[in-house]
Every structure is written in structure tokens, then in C-alpha cells.
Amino acid sequence: MIMMMPTYQKGPFEPNSRRAGFHNSAQRAIFHYHAPRAITFNCARRAIFLLACALLSRFAVAFAETPETAETIVKKLEANQVYDTSRLSARLTVTNRFGVSESSFSAYARKGGDALIVITEGPDRGQKVLRQGENLYLYYPEAEDVIWLKGSALKDSLMGSDFSYEDITDDGSILGRYTVTLDGTESFDGASCYRVTLMAKSRKEPYAREDLLIDGALFVIRKATLYSAAGKAIRELTARDVRSVAARNVPFTTVMRDLLKKDSSTEMTIERMEIDIPLPEKYFNREELSW
């Protein structure tokens, strides 16, 4: 449940302008603090006071309508990251001990968990990945068969990245699949976040446990630590560069680190994204993967 490919719309969102306002106040205060000849001791105190107010107001804004339970937080998260349809173009930068490699892909998704990934640049250009529920179909330009993967094959790496097929094509729904608990709040990368733990209800889920930091203002996942059934942290995801797309907050840069490999990470940068647009049926048809 990494929520890369959201699929339906519901609920409110927090505009980015609030955060921008907060940063301006803080920056003003810091500016005054660094100009000692122009201000008196009272001015310095005022600056500290303003800084404290700014910090308090930040939390106040974030938690003005604090959801009281994990369920309400996750519902808001789902409302933000699940769409009817979406289309995006993204770039994958894979970094490991052997070097850096880049590739690009386009992804199409629709409500119900159908998703199509078309690799548009890089050595694997022309390959396609279609997910239909629990089934995954791989199209290779030089293969006469469309490869059907199921079960553990969904955990295989996409284009040698730290993302699995399942990570990229997950529909982002949570409540039906996980038991959620709220463990408190925490600041991460300058954003105040809810600390939420997800425990998989079924062994079929890609991760048995997920520790999430959900942005309290934007309702996007800022950080996720993903655990295996044995309780070992196996992957870590961080997200930044949150932008508004069709009234949704979308992290445009996501970094996945494989904790079982040394110096291995993949940065996925969304270059273009559209939400709730009409998509041709053939995009999700296994028979037409060779279009």
C-alpha cells in the first residue's frame, strides 16, 4: 500500500498557500534576528516571540480540525490519493552501488485497481506492465507472449528500481485492507505529521506492517517504513515536493530505499499528472497491450 496510483476522489484538501504563508512569517523573523545593528534587544525578543507564534500557529493550522481517530485520518488520506482516473509521466532514477540509471514511464490508472505502465525512455523502452486486480501482465516488444505474473511475482522490481510492480500499481486504498492505529504526531521535513501504523488484515498484502507519517495539513504520506511478515523493515519511502493537481495534493518526488541493500534508492519524479480525465478502455485490455 504505497499509493502511487490513486483512483477516486473524495473529501477536502489543504491548500499549499497556508504553508507558504507560514514560511514567510518564519523567514521574516529570522531575517530580523540576523540584523543586530538595526534592531534593539526588544526587537530581538519580538523576533523570538514571532518565531514561537509562527511555530504555534503552524501546529494550530495543522490540527485546527484534528481528526480524532486513525480511521478519520486515513479516510482523508484515501480521499486525497484515490482517483477515478489518472495519467502521469514520471522519471525513475535508480541509484545503487553499481551506479545511476534513468528511465521514464507513463502510467494510467482507473478506479478499481486497473493500471497500465508504459516505459517510454531508457533501456527497457516499449515494455508495458498492466495490472488487473491481482494479475499482472508484462508486454515485451520482442516476446510473442504476454507474460502473466501472479502472487509473489508482484513483488519483483520494476525496471531494476527499488519499487516493486505492486508498489507502483497499488490503488492506494487502506481501510479495507489494514487495521489502523494512531500513535501520535511527529514533525518530519518541516511538516507536522500523524504517526499511523497499518497492520495488514491479510497475508496477501505486500507489507505486513506500515509505519506512516501522514502530513497533517496536506494528507499525503510523507514517510513510510514498510515491514515484512517477519517484522523486518525492508523498505522506506519518503515524499516531498507536494503540489496541487485538480484540487488534490500529490507528492511529485518520492524516494524509495531498499533497506536490505546497501546504498540502494530510487527517486520517482512526476513530470506531468492529470486526474479524472477520460482514458480509452483499450489501455486496460490485456489483448491490446501491443497497441
Partner 1 sequence: MKTVSLAWRNARRNWPRTALSASAAFASTLIVCLIMSMESGYIDDMIANIKNHRTGDVRVMNRAYLENERVMPLQFFIDDTERALSTLARNDFVAYAVPRTPFVVSIYQKGERIPCRAIGVDFRTDPITSAKNDVLTQGAYPASGSAEILVTAGLAKELSLSVGGKLTILSRTATGGTNGKTFTVSGVVAMSDMDFSGRVFFLDWRTAGDFLRMGPNALAVNAFLKKGTDEESAITAIRNALDASAGTKGDAAFDVRAWHDVSETFAFLKISRVLFAIYGAIFYLLASTVIVNTTMMAVLERRREIGTLAALGMGKRGILALFVAESGIIAAIGIVLGLCAGGLIVGAVHRAGFDIEAIYGTDLGGMGISRVIYPSLAPPQYAYILGMGLMIACLACLVPARIATRVEPADAMRDR
Which residues of the shown chain bind partner 1 in the complex (CB under 8 A)?
A: 94, 96, 98-99, 101, 103, 122-124, 127, 138, 140, 142-145, 147-148, 153, 156-157, 159-161
For partner 1, which is the closer residue by CB, 53 or 153? 153
| Burial of 40 per CB tally in 10 Å (0-12, 13-18, 19+) | exposed
Q: How far is the CB of 272 from partner 1 (least distance, A)?
A: 22
- For residue 43, count other CB atoms closer than 10 A to its CB: 14
Q: How far is the CB of 97 from partner 1 (least distance, A)?
A: 8
Q: Which helix (H) or strand (E) holds 210?
A: strand 209-215
What's the grid cell of residue 75?
479516510
Report whether 277 contacts 87 (CB < 8 A).
Answer: yes
Q: How far is the CB of 288 from partner 1 (least distance, A)?
A: 18
Q: How far is the CB of 151 from partner 1 (least distance, A)?
A: 11
For partner 1, which is the closer residue by CB, 142 or 287? 142
Give the side-chain half-sphere CA count within 13 A for 65: 9
For partner 1, which is the closer residue by CB, 25 or 157? 157
Q: How far is the CB of 123 from partner 1 (least distance, A)?
A: 4
Q: Pick the closest to residue 137 from 118, 120, 124 (CA basis).
A: 118
